[in-house]
Amino acid sequence: MKTELIESKGNCLSMKVEGVSTSLVNAVRRYCIGQVEVLAVDSVTMYENTSSMFDEYVTHRIGLLPLISPKGIKEGMEVSFSLDESGPKVVYSGDLKTTDKDVKVAKERIPIITLFENQNLRLECKAIVGTGQTHAKFQSGIAAYGEEGKEEFVFKAESFYQMKPKELVVRACKKLEKDISDLAKAVKKAK
């Protein structure tokens, strides 16, 4: 197998891959989309919401905010966030306060809600680890490929800012490799 980086800019990556089958490139693409573990807000406890928006609307917006998901996150990990804001102001993703210095919102200027005079929003939320296979809020990015010739592809990946795109592809490959290894062990044990 031979790979050549074409471009890596921001949250996008483009590379040429030679000497692999279509099924392998497609497996890596699918793992990038649905199998890489990331953190996302899963539960919100609303203490005060005097805004014009329903609690569910605010909760939904917070749940879709991309969170930095460092290496080594594991299933069962939880990170808490809090928010306590009063209007008049626009409440942004960066206003969420985290309990873990390594896990924070990936983009600080995503608007959550506009609060007007005498409107308040006070809440706590918990982020957990998940994959895009279970819910879109856990999707780490998107990936695609185009066939350039026999066993020759241009592979593109775009992260949703939880990690760099190169890290997205590496984590997807490691997860695919682990799943194949686990399958091989299970087959050996089969009677």
The CATH homologous superfamily to which domain 2-36+151-189 belongs is RNA polymerase, RBP11-like subunit (3.30.1360.10)
Query: Would the CA dihedral through 93, 156, 144, 140 be positive or negative?
Result: negative
Map out the domains of the chain as residue ranges: 2-36+151-189, 38-137
Give the pLDDT score at 182: 95
Architecture category of domain 38-137 in CATH: Beta Complex (2.170)
Give the pLDDT score at 190: 87
Give the pLDDT score at 22: 96
Written as tens digits, the pLDDT of the chain (191 aa) is 999 999 999 999 999 999 999 999 999 999 999 999 999 999 999 999 999 999 999 999 999 999 999 999 999 999 999 999 999 999 999 999 999 999 999 999 999 999 999 999 999 999 999 999 999 999 999 999 999 999 999 999 999 999 999 999 999 999 999 999 999 999 999 87
Same fold, 2-36+151-189 and 38-137: no
